[in-house]
Amino acid sequence: QVQLVQSGAEVKKPGASVKVSCKASGYTFTSYDINWVRQATGQGLEWMGWMNPNSGNTGYAQKFQGRVTMTRNTSISTAYMELSSLRSEDTAVYYCAEGAADGAFDIWGQGTMVTVSS
């Protein structure tokens, strides 16, 4: 079945970087944009940006410009989100999501918990 499987939980120190992976299966990876959304504990959903897996083109939310990089490896149907200069406020669950429903996110990864702590 169509699914996105993300990498495991991460613990990082302030100032470090984290790279989260999102492996797609059950559909043609290059067909739909991959988006990244994060959610701090008890808070709402925050969109970070999108990537077209076919072209590699990206678009980032202004808040994350200069700190986030979204890439992909089409040979293994995997998307990546790297966030640098981490601070405690970046502690959150990070989700990848595929925009196959006319651009809306119909398939989500299981989430990756990233904890930033000294």
Partner 1 sequence: EIVLTQSPGTLSLSPGERATLSCRASQSVSSSYLAWYQQKPGQAPRLLIYGASSRATGIPDRFSGSGSGTDFTLTISRLEPEDFAVYYCQQYGSSLAFGQGTKVEIK
Which residues contact residue 26 at a Cβ distance below 8 angstroms, ignoring those fewer than 6 apart? 1, 2, 3
Angle at 98 between CA 88 and CA 67, to 5 degrees: 30
Distance CA 29, CA 87 (A): 32
Task: Determine the straight-line distance between the first and last CA of the chain, rounded to whole angstroms.
Answer: 40
Nearest to 26, CA basis, from 9, 44, 3: 3
Closer Cβ to partner 1, 47 or 54, answer by number: 47
**The one among 10, 23, 46, 91 contacting partner 1 by CB under 8 A:** 46
| x/- map, 62-101, partner 1, by CB under 8 A | x--------------------------------x-x-x-x
Alpha-carbon distance 14 to 68, whole Å? 15
CB of 74 to partner 1, least distance (A): 23
Contact stretch for partner 1 (CB under 8 A) within 14-22, 54-62, 70-78, 80-88: 54-62
Residue 104 CB, nearest approach to partner 1 (Å): 4
Residues found near partner 1 in the complex (CB under 8 A): 35, 37, 44-47, 50, 59, 61-62, 95, 97, 99, 101-106, 108-111
